[in-house]
Every structure is written in structure tokens, then in C-alpha cells.
Structure 1
Amino acid sequence: MSYQHCDLRRDARQTRLATTLAGLESEFELPDAFPQAVLDEALAAVRGFDPPPADRTSIELVTIDPASSTDLDQAVHLARDGQGYLVHYAIADVPGFVAPGGALDAETRLRGQTVYLPHRRISLHPESISEDAGSLLPGVDRSAYLWTIALDGKGSVVSTTLERALVRSREKLSYAGAQAALDAGTASELLCLLREVGLKRSILEAERGGASLRIPEQEVELVDGAYLLSLRAPLPVEEWNAQISLLTGMEAARIMISGGVGILRTLPEPDTKSITTFRRQAAALGRPWDEEVRYGDFLRTLDVNEPAQLALMHQAASLFRGAGYTAFDGSAPADTRQAALGAPYSHATAPLRRLVDRFVLVVCAHLVAGSPVPEPIRAALPALPALMQASNQRTGRVERAAMDAIEAALLLHRVGEHFDAVTIEGPDAAELARSVAAGRVPSGIVQLRDPGITARYQGAAEAGREVTVELVRADLVARKVLFRIVGP
């Protein structure tokens, strides 16, 4: 599949789009500028920050993020350790800047997470923390929660420690740059070990029954006044880097379950109805799912460059519903598994961008040290699931609305044009026949090959078909795009 981009140049459409995007902030009641009391408290926390006594600046950490990122939550270092590996993973010391019960704490609970919109970022924390004193920028000393995880030769955990320490990132790497170095054979030993450990952790994930959706993502960039919209498949180095974050989150979950206090990121196993439906969809799309094969293993066999299998991967999203947070104090809940990972898991590695991680870090650090978890932290845990769920829902809605607006703006002048596409959702043969018999117009979701747009279509086509579609509607005000099938 081609992952090309389409742009929107400076003209009346650009102005209308800018107005529409700005309007989303009020429509979805996103927070505006930080109150002055919050800014003052953040600045005072930065000026009065007391760094930890432990000095680990000799560890040659690096960050790996999108090239434009400045709110850097994690820095990593890997080394060989006998037949195994030693992973150092530094996480930004956000708890050191946020006093429980203060104005900043209250504001972050209202926000929940950083919202990334095409035209701007609405941060969880003031810039003095998120892009400066709290960010693991290269070449400067920063306080961090430093995880040290020893792995055996297969990538399994041998031991884990956690401490607050002073660290220094040596370099800010981008995913694209890191992947290019690995592909060219010029990568550092650290990146080579990241690949080695990441691949081994992926194998362990498969053995646990874990699964992931490998769907190309819509990506928006604003370059020289033009919005670029593309479908981008994640780079391998992103998956290997993610495995280090998942490793840390699973260790955080293990520590909190053992300690009887904390908060987990949970996902139930797919229910019988969802599995039955997905098996039927798989058979209809020519990829029957053997009942002896776990769903994670089955998803790993799908090639998203093939239309029917891409459609099936989209359908697999129905197996990943019901994610939430579970707080506990006194004893761990009966069901602690995150089904997509095949293990208990907690969000612990992005405190600059996500509220819950700050509390997880503090809980884990106290449990590892054998000291009581502070009462203000324990008292906050029961409220976090609802706060994060509300924030996730709002963020998901506004990000989808922004994408819908950009898609409509890009296509305003192309009504009547034909595009090559793949139907990723649509009626099966029986549903199609019923619609035709009843005189209804069938519909579904289509993914254009270029530009990278996903939208509704009308017409007689099942999921997983290569089709030609005609654009019949592009409405920026309503943020709606509609196509119709005109050919196979």
C-alpha cells in the first residue's frame, strides 16, 4: 500500500480549516490557558526543586521520540549483562514538581492528559515543567525515576529496582533517524541492543498470548503553512522501543499487585459474541481463524498490505474493547490481566503527558523502598479511573473531529473525482442481499490509497474489496465526507 501525502495550501480553505480547528477547543470544552495560580506554582516548584542525592549521570541514556517532540518522558540505555541484558529506563520526575492538593495538582486532574491537535498542543503541565525542567532534554541533568531491570538471555525479567536519581540524556533521537541507522548498519550498540531485546520481548509477548493491532495510522503535519495527511505504518524501532515501555509497565503492575495498592490498566478478554462475529468475518474474507490458534497469533499472520487482511485487522478492533483503569488498596483485584498483553500492566512511563503515571511512579517507588505509600497518593487512587476514562473519551472525540475536518478540507475541491480505495468495513454477503432486497443503500467504511483518508461510502461492496469510489460530498462545516462505489 502506498503511504503518500496530500497537502492543503494557503487559500480560503486553509483559513476556514484553521477556524474550524480552533472551534473544536470550545466545542469539546478543552482547557484554555493555565490559570495564573497554576503557572506561579509550577514556576515556584521549578525554582525550589530539590534534586535527589543519587547521581546516575554516568549512564549514557538517549531519548527516542518523534522528531518534533519536546516533552520527553523517557530515556533508555541497554547493555549486555553476562548472557542477558541490563535495561536502564529513566522516567521524568513529574511528582517532584507537583505537590498533592495544590493548584497544579487540581489542574492536572481536570485535564487528564496532553491533547495533540493538528494546530496546537494542549499540555497537561505548564511549559516550565513539560518542555523544560521536567523534560529529559539532552545534555542537561534531570531528576528521574530510574528503573533498572535485569533480563536473562531470552528477555525475561530477573530483577528490578527503582530509585529517584539524577540522570543526563546524551542525545535526542528520532524514530526515523534511529530506523535509518539500523537499516544502514551504522547504528550504535545501544540501538542494536534495543532491536535485539525488543524482538525477544515480542516473542515473549506472543508466548503469553498477547496481541496488537498493526493498522496504518493517519498522521497530520503542518509544514510551511500546509497540512500534510498520510497513512503511516509504524516503524520497527517504534515497536522495539514500545516493548521497553511495556516491560516497565508490567513490572510496575507486578510491584503494585504484590504490595496490595496501586492502579492497573485493564482490558478484559474478548467475549464469546465478539469472537464468534470475528471468526465469521475472517471466514468471509478468506482468512479462516483456526480455533486452535490464539487470536494474537492469528493477528500476527495478517498482511495489512493485502486488502482483505487489512479489512480484517480493522474488524479485530472489536476484540479490544472495554479498556479501563482499576484502582485498589488492601488487596489486588481478582482479574488483573491486560488481555492484549497477556499480563497485568500499568501506565507508568509518560507522566508529562498522562495523569495516572505520576501516581504509579510514587506508589512503586515507595513499595520498592519498603516505605508506606503517602496518604495523599492513596487517597487519590479511587478517583483516577473516572478521571482518566473521561479524559480518554474527550480526547478521542476531539482528535477524530480534527481529522474529519482536515479530510473534508482536503477534498472540498475534489467532489466528483474518482479514487482507488479499499473497503475496510462493509456488509457481508447476507447483509448485502438483505439491503438490496429491501431497497436500502448499503454502506460501510472505505480507506483511500492516496490521500490517506478513511470515510463512509455507499454502494454494494463487502469489506476487503479493492474498489473505485467517487467523492459525492465534502462538508467542512459538518466535518463530513461521503463516497460512493462506482467500480471494482
Structure 2
Amino acid sequence: MPLQKVRFADDVPEVFRASLQDIRRELDVPAEFPPEVVAAALKAGTAPRLPTLDRTELEFVTIDPPDSMDLDQALHIERAGDGYVVHYAIADVAAFVQYGDPIDTETRHRGVTLYAPDKRTPLHPPELSEGAASLLPDQVRPALLWTVPLDARGESTGVTCERALVKSRAKLNYAGVQQDLDAGTASESLQLLREVGKLREQLELERGGVNLPIPDQEVVTSDGAWSLEFRAPLPVEGWNAQISLLTGMAAAQLMMKGKIGILRTLPEARDDLRKKLGHTAKALGIDWPQETTYAEFIHGLDPQVPAHAAMLAACTVLFRGAGYVTFAGSVPEHPQHAAMKAEYAHVTAPLRRLIDRWAGEICLALSAGTEVPAWVRDSMDDLPKIMEEAARRENAYERAIVGMVEAGLLKDQVGSEFDGVITDIDDREPNRGIVVLSEHAVEGRVTAKAELPLGKAVRVKLVEADIAKRSVTFELIP
């Protein structure tokens, strides 16, 4: 499920630091890496298993947030007749980490990289994830090189995945790339990223797929007052995401054809989610006609509009229930990711997500027509449970941080009244539910003396905003 990240415009205020530490203790967020894992990472970084294929002539670049050093992906796009060829280099973690070694054992405990406003809790030791294995500029690195030819409409016409040496030419950030594209000074490869990204977005819309441009929440202080603002993703972030999605779909097709793999799946959204999200849209003053589908509605939202940004954050509920399915010998009965309206696999973030290492090895073997490594076959059925636990912790971490920030935003307004809409009611206790405030786009628990009026505009009073408990609670004003 896509996650909403909280950022602070300045340094994290002291009032939140103790709460962030409490959250990490409660959720058993890993601390520093054990000495033996750091030692193994240092050793592995000096002697990776290097491929013989050299593709360092391709002028790859990475595009990430400015402070990112764990660079999984490097991109190069070129024209081919009336179509395109996408070259996508993915960090080759298996060149440094072997199944059963101390690094592998530790990463299977962590599952994913976790993000908080004050620190990053990495999946791999920084000696690898931000050093020897990262696709840093001007460094020759082992990578899984995906080559995906596209036709004039942006449809994939084939795929290969092979180990290769690559060399990134520059570490770029989204704002800088967007500025260069808007000014007409971007490289041909980046101009093609925009071209291909738009084509892929159109294909996504045509098949009814949804890719949420989740806005970040940013806490801003001015003259001692707090405000919570949404930072809309730039268009280039969406185009870059389309290349990752393209690669994940190509990987899934390899797996389906080879009848072995690990797919990311999601069942169709329940009807009650449409009703709940409809109430949220009403609370935010957004029209959602009954005949408009999820995909049409979401594609029509502008993340630069604050109410639309809040709506996109609420729509992450559509991705609940996503999981992984492993298979060997026959394809799964329900292989599709419902939000994407396609089969899909996670293969593009191995420095930050455990399962991508296994999925990458499967695709390498299938592309070459060789046997999938025994260690992959023998251990891949353990991964869905590992990733489910990692996702539970990741989602709880994100929810706790958002709750902490919302409580901080409102902590000085206990007793104040607000306008909102009841978006959900407890099935067992209909006098309890969820209210979304119209002004702040804050979601909180609400109680009443009688049954709550689902979907109706209401007036509520704030009765609790506790940073330590990450709790915001209201009561209905009759």
C-alpha cells in the first residue's frame, strides 16, 4: 500500500522527539545493526560478485529525493524507430548478500526500510545501501539491467533482464529534473521520460488502473502557530513511477509465462469502501458522481489542491488487502493487482524491500532460460509472511506518526468546535465513528449520545489531542 510520509519544514520539534522514540519502542522498530552484520557488510562491499557484461556506455541517471543515498534505480531511455527502449538498472543486492549470511538473516527480520521525520531505519546496513551497492554517480556498479522495448503507444513489446555493470552519470532530484524539463534544458533521455511517462499514464487510465500520487504532509511553524500542509508530488515523480510500474508488470509477465514467481496481488475493492470514500469526498467538498469509477475519480484529482491531496491520502484505503502470492508449476487463480488492473511484481527496490531480491533472481533465470536458483525456490514461500509482518509494522509506524502530528496540530485547541462529516460508523456501536474535519482534513474518533449520522455534515467539539497517545477525539454537538 502506498504510504503517506510526514516531513518537517525545519528540524523535528523537541515536543515530538520523545513520542517518536516511544513509537519505535512500541512497534519494535530495529535499532542499530549488530556488529557482525556491519562487519559482513564491510567485507561484502569490498568483494562483490561482478558480472561479465559491461553496459557502462549507457548514460544512466538516478532521480530521487535530494537526501536519498540508497539509490536502487537508474534510468536511460532512447528512441527506437517510432517507439522507445527503456533501460532500467536495479541495484544488484545479491552481488553482495548471500542467502543465510548475517546480512540476509538481519534483513529477513526487518523486511523493509522504515521512514520517520527524524530518521531512516534501513533494510540493509548503510555500508551497502548507501555505499557499495547503491547506484551512486560516477561509480561502476553491478546491477540487474532491465531492457524493455515499447511501441509508439508505450506498450511493452518484450523484456530482458540480465546482470551487467553500469555507471550512473548523475544523482538528480525531482525538483531539478522538473525545472529542466519545464525550461527545455533536460537531456534527451529525460525528455523521453516525460513522453513515455505520459503514454503509460494514458494506458493506465484506459485499463482502469490507479496509481495514487500520494502527497507528503509537511508540518510548518510560523510565529509559534502550527499548520499541516500537503506537498503535492511533481509530474516527473509520476512519470518516474510509471517506469517502475512498467518494469514490475514486465517482471510479472515473465513469471506468468515461466510458471514460477512472486506476484503482488490485490483483490477488488469492497463496495463499502466506495461509500466511505464518498463521505470523505463530501467532507472535503469534492464532487464524486455515482457513475464515475474509482480510476476516473482519482485521475481527476489534482494533488496540488489541498482538498484533493487529502482525498488522495484517504484513498490509500483502496490498497488495503494487498499481499504476495508465490507459485511454482502453475499460475495463481487470482494473479491480478486490482488497483493496477494488471499482473505485477515488486522488483525495483531491493535496497529498501526484501522480496525484490528473490523476485529479481527469478526474472534473471527466466529471461536467460536457466533454472531458478535452489535457494530461491526453497525459501520463497516464507516471504509472504515475512513481508506481511513488515507491512503491518510499516503501516502502524506511518499511522502513529500521522496521529502524533495531527494531535500536535490540535493540542492547543481542545474545547474548540469544528465542522466535519461523519465518514464511518462502528458496526457494533453506532454512536462511535470517524469524523473528517472540513478545514484541517484531520481524521479523528467521534462519539455521540445517539447514532451518528453517516455522511452528514456535523459540528463537533475537540475533547482530546494527546501527542503521547497519538490520539485525536471529538464529540458530536447535538
CA RMSD of aligned residues (A): 3.6
Q: Match of 2:257, as an amino acid?
A: S
TM-superposed deviation, 1:216? 3.4
Query: In 1, Cα distance between the equivalents of 2:11 and 2:139?
Result: 39
**C-alpha displacement of 1:481:** 2.8
CA 117–207 in structure 1, closer or farther in 2 if over 3 Å, else same: same
Deviations along 1:209-266, one digit per CA (max 9) or x if unpaired, are: 21234553324699xxx99953122211111000000000001111111111110000
Paired residue secondary structure (2:154): coil
Residue aligning to 1:366: 365
What amino acid does structure 1 have at the position aligned with 2:290? W
Distance of 1:47 and 1:220 partners within structure 2: 41
Which residue is 2:472 aligned to? 481
2:62 is matched with 63
Q: Which moved more, 1:130-139 or 1:29-38?
A: 29-38
Aligned pair count?
463
Give the match for residue 397 of structure 1. 396
Corresponding residue for residue 341 of structure 1: 340
Correspondences of 1:258-297 after superposition (within 5 Å): 258-272=257-271, 274=273, 287-290=288-291, 294-297=293-296
Measured in 2, the distance between the counterparts of 1:120 and 1:448 equals 30
How many Å separate the matches in 1 of 2:187 and 2:254?
Answer: 32
Aligned mates of 1:469, 1:8 — CA distance in 2: 32
- CA shift, 1:180, in A, is 2.0
Which residue matches 2:101? 102
State the SS of the aligned residue for 1:157: coil
Deviations 1:276-317 (A, max 9, x none): 776798899753222xx6532343234567898778766655
Are 2:232 and 2:303, in contact at CA under 8 Å, matched by a contact in 1? Answer: no
Cα distance, 1:177 vs structure 2 = 1.4
How many Å separate the matches in 2 of 1:461 and 1:303?
29
Aligned to 1:321: 320
Contact 1:6 1:229 in 2 (8 A): no
Aligned to 1:426: 423
* 1:53 lines up with 2:52 in the alignment: yes
Residue equivalent to 1:128:
127
Contact 1:309–1:464, Cα closer than 8 Å, also in 2: no
- Alpha-carbon deviations, 1:108-154, whole Å to 9, x = none? 11100011111111111011100000101111111110111110110
Residue 26 (structure 2) aligns with: 27
**Given residue 111 of structure 2, which amino acid in structure 1 is its aligned partner?**
G
Equivalence for 2:436: 445
| Paired position in structure 1 for 2:3 | none
164-173 vs 212-221, which moves further: 212-221
TM-score (norm 2): 0.86
- Which residue is equivalent to 1:142? 141
- Say which SS state the counterpart of residue 137 (structure 2) adopts: coil
Amino acid at match of 2:470: R
One-letter amino acid of the counterpart of residue 62, structure 1: V
Q: Distance in 2 between matches of 1:21 and 1:473?
A: 19
Q: Distance in 2 between matches of 1:240 and 1:52?
A: 30
Contact map agreement 1:163 1:365 (CA 8 A) in 2: yes
User: What amino acid does structure 1 have at the position aligned with 2:175?
Assistant: A
What amino acid sits opposite 1:182 in the alignment?
L
Deviation by residue 1:346-381 (Cα, 9 ceiling, x = unmatched): 000000000000111111001111111111111111
Aligned-pair identity (%): 45
TM-superposed CA distance for 1:15, in Å, is 3.2
1:192-224 Cα deviation digits (max 9, x unpaired):
1111100101111122221234553324699xx
Amino acid of the structure 2 residue aligned with 1:47: T
Deviation at 1:172, TM superposition (A): 1.1
| Aligned residue number for residue 115 of structure 2 | 116
Segments of structure 2 that go 5 or more residues without pairing to the other structure are 1-5
Q: Is the 8 A contact 2:213 2:238 kept in 1?
A: no
Q: Alpha-carbon deviation of 1:332?
A: 1.4
**2:423 partner amino acid:** G
Name the SS for the 2:199 alignment partner.
helix
How far residue 446 of structure 1 moved from its aligned partner, in angstroms, is 2.3
Relative to 1, partners in 2 of residues 1:103 and 1:334: Cα closer, same or farther, differing over 3 Å?
same
> What is the deviation of 1:475?
1.5
Residue in 1 that maps onto 2:229: 230
2:377 aligns with 378
Inter-CA distance 249–446: structure 2 relative to 1 (3 Å threshold): same
For 1:118 and 1:280, the matched residues in 2 are separated by 30
Contact 1:315–1:425 (Cα < 8 Å) also in 2 = no
1:382-407 Cα distance to aligned partner (Å, 9 max, x none): 01011101100111101221232233
Gaps of at least 5 residues in structure 1 are none
Does the CA contact (< 8 Å) of 1:8 and 1:228 recur in 2? Answer: no
Report the 3-state secondary structure (helix = DSSP H, G, I; strand = E; otherwise coil) of the residue aligned with 1:55: coil
Q: 1:448 to 1:396 in 2, by over 3 A?
A: farther
Aligned-residue offset at 1:183:
2.4
Give the conservation status (yes or no) of the 8 Å contact 2:93–2:351.
yes
Distance 1:59 1:305 in 2: 35
Judged with a 3 Å threshold, the aligned counterparts in structure 2 of structure 1 residues 408 and 167 are, in CA distance, closer, same or farther, namely same
Q: 1:228 to 1:112 in 2, by over 3 A?
A: farther
User: Does the 8 A contact of 2:144 with 2:360 survive in 1?
Assistant: yes
- Residues 263, 360 of structure 1: 8 Å contact kept: yes
Amino acid in the other structure paired with 1:170 = R
Counterpart Cα distance in 1 of 2:329 and 2:366:
13
What is the CA-CA distance between 1:20 and the residue it aligns to? Answer: 1.6
In structure 1, the residue matched to 2:330 is: 331
Alignment-mate amino acid for residue 475 of structure 1: D
**Contact 2:279 2:423 survives alignment (8 Å):** no
Give the alignment's TM-score, normalised by structure 1.
0.84
Q: Secondary structure at the match of 1:148?
A: strand
Q: Match of 2:191, as an amino acid?
A: C
Greater displacement, 69-78 / 403-412: 403-412
